Amino acid sequence: MSLAADDPLAPFEAAVNYHDWTPSNDGAQVISADMFAAARTSIADWPNYAPTPLYQLPALARRTGIAEVMFKDEGPRFGLKSFKALGGAYAVQALLAEHRGEAETGAENITVTCATDGNHGRSVAWGAQTFGCACVIFIHAEVSEGRARAIEAYGARVVRVDGNYDDSVHAAASAAEENGWYVISDTSYEGYMEVPKRVMAGYGVIAAEIIAEIGDAPPPTHTFLQGGVGGFAGAMAEAFHQHWGDGAPRMIMVEPELAACLYRSAEAGRMTEIPVDEETLMAGLSCGVPSVVAWDILAARAGGFMTIPESMVAPAMQLMANPLDGDPSIEAGESAIAGLAGFVAGTRKTEIKQAIDLGAESRVLLIGTEGATDPDVYAALLAQSG
Ligand SMILES: Cc1ncc(COP(=O)(O)O)c(C=O)c1O
């Protein structure tokens, strides 16, 4: 066996794409500090609320030649296994609060719906069950049975449609139109901004917990965040900017090569849709159309865009589960590790390190956005050999 085969970081030598981006920093504040605060107050009141852990990975920092790696693990979030627990469920709660007291639209007469590749639908279904309304969730052809069952477990009806994620978005929208249901989408488009903004305000709880834990210590210098439609990263970018201003970490977006709608938007210099012809293993990131709200924030706040190949997914999950000497073992699902993979790959490419000023003094923040949301898929990828 060659030395490289023994090196758990060797898979990150593979080629990645990097597109440099200078944040315009002009964009209007699309999610206000008040919206973030309202979401935080509501969510902190939910039963079993607890901040998720922020781990230090000193061995990984040493091996990648930087000062510090922090990893926030969203796996334990409200027992739903992903950060998405915060967004959809909060938007459902806020919608029902708006309709409280109206005879014909009381919660029991309201049906919420959305399209999902798994995690967002689970959150909306959980929110509907918790706050007391009906729920129908649309999934596409490739969503695993395990993920469908997890949504049904919260009492929602699950409808599987032909095609990909974008097709399921259209199916949910038409069904809502026909039946008078409320769409709780995590992605925004012209004419549909308020609900996705609330979803993103819910995600802001993650940023608030990180900010509270870091306290008066210096903020991270870089954060590598995975992108699907961009809502998660956009929420982090905006919340960090509101707190740290120009001292906020440089944010590098990381997407699968197979679904790089934000990367292509950066290349084109404007929001761009792409066809998703082949599903990535990183199911939560398999999106061809950016969220309008998210893109506006990212154009103003991002500091670089990357794509990673499929070959890095299993090695990155394995690196978290079987870590380097002394680092904690963390259960991180397929879509959780894109930021980590982008970071490690970046440390092995001089041009990227130079472009983003990544070096011995850097303190990097990563956010593991899900645990083993589909235990069968997780086990199969952990067992895969390189
Ligand atoms: C685990 C996980 N991480 C990251 C994302 C990306 O979030 P967004 O689509 O808001 O960019 C998703 C989206 O479903 C996800 O499920």
- Say what the pLDDT of residue 184 is: 98
Q: Do 67 and 139 reside in the same domain of the chain?
A: no
Q: Is 93 helix (H, G, I), strand (E, B) or coil?
A: helix
* CB 88 less than 6 A from any atom of ligand 1: no
Give the model confidence (pLDDT) of 237-248 as tens digits: 999 999 999 999
Mean pLDDT for the stretch of residues 230-238: 98
Ligand 1 centre from 118 Cα, in Å?
10
Mean pLDDT to the nearest integer, 5-26 = 92
Instruction: Give mean pLDDT, residues 340-368.
Output: 98
The per-residue pLDDT for 118 is: 87
Atom of ligand 1 nearest to the CA of 230: 11
Provide the number of structural domains found in the chain.
2
> Among 117, 186, 296, 374, which one carries the catalytic annotation?
117
Whether residues 268 and 295 fall in one domain: yes
| Domain residue limits at 158 | 84-192
Q: Please tell me the least confidently modeled range out of 52-66, 160-174, 314-328.
A: 160-174
Q: Are residues 246 and 310 in the same domain?
A: yes
- Residues 287, 323 within the same domain: yes
Separation CA 91–CA 156 (nearest Å): 16
- Least confident span in 27-36, 89-98, 133-142: 27-36
CA of 283 to the centre of ligand 1 (A): 9
Q: pLDDT-derived band of residue 1, with 50, 70 and 90 as boundaries?
A: very low
Average pLDDT, the chain: 95
> Both 183 and 207 in a single domain?
no
Together in a domain, 157 and 217: no
Q: Is 202 in the pocket of ligand 1 (CB under 6 A)?
A: no
| Known active-site residue 81 | no
Give the C-alpha separation, 34 to 110, whole Å: 27
- For 131-145, how does the pLDDT look when each residue is reduced to its tens digit (9 = 90+)? 999 999 999 998 999
Q: What is the mean pLDDT of residues 337-353?
A: 98
The CB of 230 under 6 Å from ligand 1? The reply is yes
Q: Do residues 67 and 140 both lie within one domain?
A: no
Residue 45 has pLDDT above 60, yes or no: yes
- Whether the per-residue pLDDT at 3 is higher than 60: the answer is no
pLDDT value at position 108? 75
- Are residue 30 and residue 162 in the same domain, yes or no? no
| 261, pLDDT greater than 70 | yes
What is the separation of C-alpha 367 from the centre of its chain, rounded to a whole number of angstroms? 8
* Residue finishing a domain among 164, 192, 220: 192
pLDDT of 105 above 70: no
Cα(231) to centroid(ligand 1), Å: 8
Shared domain check, 199 and 121: no
What pLDDT shows up at residue 2? 45
Is residue 131 domain-shared with residue 215, that is, in the same domain?
A: no
Please give the pLDDT value at position 104. 63
Query: Is 84 annotated in the active site?
Result: yes
Query: Where residue 23 sits, what CATH number does that domain have?
Result: 3.40.50.1100
Ligand 1: residue whose CA is nearest its atom 13: 284
Q: Ligand 1 centre from 106 Cα, in Å?
A: 31
153 and 266 housed in the same domain: no
Q: Write down which residue in 167, 192, 217 finishes a domain.
A: 192
Q: Are residues 244 and 264 in the same domain?
A: yes
As a whole number of angstroms, the distance between CA 74 and CA 53 comes to 8
β-strands 111-116, 134-139: how paired? parallel
